[in-house]
């Protein structure tokens, strides 16, 4: 059993999945974490969103406090699991999907599979299916090398470095949540790499997945320094990669009839929702208003 502060467990297809629900109203905001993160990493914006409407955090199977699951998974498997969980937990729809990085790809796949259940999407520094073809050659080569090699055991210095980063980002979390989160990130550091191991294939799954619904969409790009990424890529390569990602985000937003692209120069990729909680929350507010306006009305 888990503590009430961590969420509630629901049985979905024989697995125990964790979900935390707060607030009242529709549409319901649903946070889809990036690889390596879990629902409670978004507790700050979840609590703020819950003052506006119903808000939900959850852990995908194989992550956080949900039951173990073989990783990586297909996007369809991940979104079918989420759809079933929302039904079992009786979470009211429609849903405003807030997907971060890999979670943004899952949000788009959810919208393809269940278009009538989606009221809008906020995509936080999303992975884009054209990334492999557009990323700088040096980054592509380094990524391939990293994918082909097993992850080395971290040194004590690396453990302390990343522990300090998480401690800083989670400093405002309640102690009963912060400590278990810190321990999870310390012990489950391989999970993010395992979950994202098939990200290119997941991108192709979305490319071939059909039309996405005409709903309001905001794409937020994080262009600030990210210490988590700079620990893996030289600053020069990370900056070039960020420029490519930002261009792809603009193209993604433009592909939606009601899409908008916003750029945050002072937020890093992994914890952009902490670095710029205000901007993420404002985007949620804007989408709640826009989804209520008829398509084509240009609702403010």
CA distance 32 to 51: 19
298: in domain: no
Average pLDDT over residues 22-29: 98
Which pLDDT does position 270 carry in this prediction? 93
Residue 162 has pLDDT above 90, yes or no: no
Instruction: Give domain status of residue 300, yes or no.
Output: no
In a domain, 117, yes or no: yes
Residue 10: helix, strand or coil by DSSP? strand
Helix (H, G, I), strand (E, B) or coil at 55: strand
Distance between CA atoms of residues 120 and 287, nearest Å: 7
Mean pLDDT taken over the chain: 91
Mean pLDDT of 22-38: 97
In a domain, 112, yes or no: yes
- Asked if residue 15 lies in contact with residue 67, where contact means CB atoms within 8 angstroms, the answer is yes
**297 DSSP assignment:** S
Domain-embedded: residue 204: yes
Q: Give me the phi and psi of 285, to 5 degrees please.
A: -55, -45
Q: How confident is the model over 49-57, as a mean pLDDT?
A: 98
pLDDT at 285 over 70: yes
pLDDT tens-digit series, residues 133-158: 998 777 666 666 656 667 677 888 88
For residues 109-123, average pLDDT: 98
- Residue 99's Cβ-side half-sphere holds a number of Cα atoms within 13 Å equal to 27
How many CA atoms lie within 13 Å of 26's alpha carbon, on the beta-carbon side? 8
The predicted structure's pLDDT at residue 83: 98
State the average pLDDT over residues 189-211. Answer: 95
CA 216-285-51 angle, 5° bins: 135
The SS3 assignment for 203 reads helix
pLDDT at 299 over 50: no
The CATH number given to whatever domain includes residue 264 is 3.40.50.1820
In the numeric block, the tokens 């995509």 are attached to 123
pLDDT at 3: 77
Q: Could you tell me whether strands 217-222 and 95-100 are parallel, antiparallel, or unpaired per DSSP bridges?
A: unpaired
- Domain membership of residue 64 (yes or no) is yes
Q: What is the mean pLDDT of residues 52-76?
A: 97
Place of tokens 């952009």: 272
Q: What is the pTM of this model?
A: 0.94
Average pLDDT rounded to a whole number, residues 167-195 = 94
Complete DSSP assignment for 129-175: TTHHHHS-HHHHHHHHHHHHSPPPPPPHHHHHHHHHHHHHHTTTS-H
Least confident range of 52-56, 149-153, 190-194, 199-203: 149-153
Domain of 110, in residue numbers:
4-291
Nearest 5°: phi and psi at 133? -80, -20
Residue 240 lies in a domain: yes
Phi-psi region of 97 (alpha: psi -120 to 50; beta: other; left: phi over 0): beta
Residue 119 lies in a domain: yes
Measured distance CA(101)–CA(200) in Å, rounded: 13
Q: Quote the pLDDT of residue 109.
A: 98
The half-sphere exposure of 148 on its side-chain side, counting CA atoms within 13 A, is 6
Give the single-character DSSP code of 257.
T
Interatomic CA distance for residues 79 and 211, integer angstroms: 16
* Number of folded domains that form the chain: 1
């Amino acid at each position: 059993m888990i503590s009430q502060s961590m969420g509630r467990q629901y049985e979905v297809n024989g697995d125990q999945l964790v979900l935390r629900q707060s607030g009242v109203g529709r549409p319901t905001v649903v946070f889809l974490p990036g690889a390596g993160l879990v629902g409670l990493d978004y507790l700050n914006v979840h609590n703020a969103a819950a003052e506006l409407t119903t808000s939900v955090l959850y852990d995908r199977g194989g992550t956080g406090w949900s039951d173990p699951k073989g990783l990586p998974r297909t996007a369809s498997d991940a979104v079918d699991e989420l759809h079933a969980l929302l039904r079992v937990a009786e979470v009211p729809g429609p849903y405003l999907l807030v997907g971060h990085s890999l979670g943004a790809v899952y949000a788009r796949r959810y919208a393809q599979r269940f278009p009538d259940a989606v009221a809008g999407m906020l995509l936080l520094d999303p992975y884009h299916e054209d990334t492999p073809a557009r990323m700088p050659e040096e980054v592509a080569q380094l990524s391939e090398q990293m994918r082909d090699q097993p992850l080395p055991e971290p040194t004590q210095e690396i453990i302390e470095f990343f522990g300090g980063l998480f401690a800083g980002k989670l400093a405002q979390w309640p102690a009963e949540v912060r400590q278990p989160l810190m321990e999870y990130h310390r012990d489950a550091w391989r999970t993010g790499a395992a979950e994202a191991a098939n990200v290119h294939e997941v991108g192709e799954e979305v490319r071939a997945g059909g039309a996405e619904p005409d709903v309001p969409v905001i794409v937020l790009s994080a262009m600030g320094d990210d210490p988590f990424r700079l620990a893996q890529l030289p600053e020069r390569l990370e900056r070039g990669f960020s420029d490519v990602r930002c261009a792809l985000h603009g193209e993604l937003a433009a592909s939606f009839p009601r899409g908008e692209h916003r750029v945050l120069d002072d937020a890093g990729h992994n914890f952009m929702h902490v670095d710029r909680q205000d901007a993420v929350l404002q985007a949620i507010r804007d989408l709640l208003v826009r989804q209520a306006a008829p398509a084509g009305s240009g609702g403010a």
